[in-house]
């Protein structure tokens, strides 16, 4: 069964700094998703990564996928306060009954 681990669980960083959130998964996964959730709000889809070496960027966020290492990263460049949220990664198991398995989430707080 697919297991997804994220780290760190909590991240407090200053505006203008760069940082990376890591998402490790246990077995082969068809694809990797990244989501953002603001407090008390629903989930917003950020990226879908389909293949090894895939890289996607949107503004100050860049996601990448290394299927050989079973690792996806979400890199934040020059953080701004608006990026404060909880970020989730999720993998799609490609064995039989497909289902999304989510990581625990990383609560990101950007300090002015």
Q: Which is nearer to other proteins, 79 or 88 (CB)?
A: 88
Structure token digits, residue 94: 């490609």
Which is nearer to other proteins, 83 or 90 (by Cβ)?
90
Residue 97 vs 112, nearer CB to other proteins:
97
| Smallest gap from residue 16 Cβ to other proteins (A) | 30
- Work out how close the CB of 44 gets to other proteins at its nearest, in angstroms, rounded to a whole number: 7
For the record, the structure tokens of 32 come out as 């990797």
Cα dihedral 88/80/76/85 (nearest 10):
-10
69 by DSSP, 3-state: which? coil
Contacts with other proteins by CB under 8 A lie at 30-31, 33, 41-45, 48, 50, 88, 90, 92, 97-105
Least Å distance, CB 78 to other proteins, is: 25
């Amino acid at each position: 069964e697919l297991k997804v681990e994220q780290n760190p669980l909590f991240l407090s960083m200053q505006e203008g700094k760069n940082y990376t959130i890591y998402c490790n998964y246990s077995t082969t996964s068809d694809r990797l998703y990244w989501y953002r959730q603001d407090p008390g709000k629903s989930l917003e889809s950020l990226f879908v990564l389909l293949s090894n070496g895939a890289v996607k960027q949107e503004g100050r966020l860049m996601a990448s996928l290394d299927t050989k290492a079973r690792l996806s990263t979400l890199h934040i460049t020059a953080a701004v306060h608006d990026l404060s949220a909880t970020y989730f990664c999720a993998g799609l198991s490609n064995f039989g009954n497909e289902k999304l398995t989510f990581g625990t989430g990383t609560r990101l707080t950007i300090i002015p």
